[in-house]
Every structure is written in C-alpha cells, then in structure tokens.
Amino acid sequence: MRFFNWLDEWLITEGIQDLGIFKACFLSGNPGAGKSFVISKIASGQVWPRVVNTDKALEWFMKKDPENTWQKYGDKTKSITKELLAHYLNSLLPLWIDGTSSNPTAVMRRKGILESIGYDVSMVFVSTSLETSLERNRQRQRQVDEDFLKETYEQMNKLKPYYSSQFSPFVQVNNNIGELTDEVVISAYKKMDSFFKSPLKNPIGISLRDELLRSGGKYLIEHPDYEQSYINKLISSWYRR
C-alpha cells in the first residue's frame, strides 16, 4: 500500500534486543490538553515508540483530499490504524497509546492485551485547566464539540486516581499555559526515558523474548505459541466497543 511507503517513520526496523521492546505507555488527557505536544517534549532520543491513534492516517487523507471528513474517510482511517497496530504488536515495538482514555473499560482491556503478550505498561496523564483546553480546542483545525469536551474533562479528573493506582509508572504532566517549564519537561523525560530503557519486568515478555533469542526469531508469530490469527483476535478485542 502506498500509504505505508509514504510514511517512512512507520517502517519497522527494530530487533528483539533493542531498547524499548515490550514497553508501552498510555498517553491520557482530555481534548485540548496538548498530548501530542507533550510527547514531542518527553520522548526519549534513543527509543522510538510508535504512536497508536487514528490521527496519523486521517492527517494523511487530509493532505491528499482537502474535502476530507471523518464521515468520508473514517472507515479507511480505522482500517489502516488497525493494520499498523497489528504490525507493531507482531514486532513487539515500544508504543505510545494516544487517546483521551475516558473509557476505563477500554483502557484496562487494552492494558490487559499488552500485558498478555509480555509488555510492561505505564501512563502519562496530561492535565490542564478546562479554560485552557477549551481555548486550545477552538484553535484546532478539527475541533471537538465543547459540551463533549467539558463532559470528558470532568470524567478524566474523576478517573485520574484510579489510573494512578493501575499504572506504574504513572506520570502526571501539567500543561497549562506557562506550566510546561524546562523543569517539568526534564522530570517527565527522565521518568519515561527510564521506563523505556529499563529491564523488562513482565515474566511473559521475558520468557517470550528469551525463546525468540534462542530460536533467532524477531516477531511474535515466530514464537511457537502464537500465529497471525491470534494477533488478529487481539486487534479485534482492542477496538471492540
């Protein structure tokens, strides 16, 4: 597919012994919190996690077609995102899971999927005031309905204590105007850099990695206990409503 050839940054070149393999971080926060901007500030220079969301594919369609709408390209966008995630999981790549995380059932299901194939999982929670989120939303090309944003904002604040008890490390980043100082960025960077570079803790991942090393394998489906149909089931469960 020409889409994958065009996006060179999505090429899969990592090996089973590379830094960040079997590591995933959920990036959470309400619309307008500035999650993508925070990623750009705290991402490790030595580990290159792939970003899992629908924005990349949708932005590609927007560049090709100025009349692009979610109604027009939504199904294609979701299909491409699913295919990319399947490649990422098969290659056991480091991941940023980018979303609001306002649905705790879906978040915990996805966390369980990752842990079931050996991943260590963390969360970065990006916080802002409601006023800041609303103002940033108004400046976006694709705006979110403000009533939905307000509802999501309240829900995320209620979910924060729960997520902090379920993810380790759980890193909160304040991204109000003027609050994302060098000190805040460096602190979050060090924590996430340490997470992505730290030794694997998940015993499933350790066993799977060691088996692939012994057999000379690189991909999940090269392990005797896994096959492509299993990955397809994981993807279906990941996007189940």
Residue-level length of the chain? 241
Average pLDDT on 176-189 reads 89
Q: What is the pLDDT of residue 81?
A: 83
pLDDT tens for 40-77 read 888 867 888 998 876 665 565 556 666 655 556 567 77
- Locate 203 and state its tokens: 């015993």
Distance of alpha carbon 124 from alpha carbon 168, whole angstroms: 10
For residue 47, what are the domain limits? 2-238
At 104, which CATH number? 3.40.50.300
Distance of alpha carbon 169 from alpha carbon 42, whole angstroms: 14
For residue 122, the cross-strand partners are 25
Q: Are the C-beta atoms of 27 and 131 separated by less than 8 Å?
A: no
Q: Are the C-beta atoms of 61 and 77 separated by less than 8 Å?
A: yes
Q: What is the pLDDT of residue 1?
A: 41
pLDDT tens for 183-224 read 999 999 999 999 999 999 999 999 999 999 999 999 999 998
pLDDT tens for 84-139 read 899 999 999 999 998 778 899 999 999 999 999 999 999 999 999 999 999 988 88
Average pLDDT on 27-50 reads 85
Q: Are the C-beta atoms of 219 and 90 separated by less than 8 Å?
A: yes
> What are the start-end ranges of the H helices in 68-118?
70-90, 104-116
Report the domain count for the chain: 1
Residue 18 has pLDDT above 50, yes or no: yes
pLDDT: which is higher, 16 or 60: 16
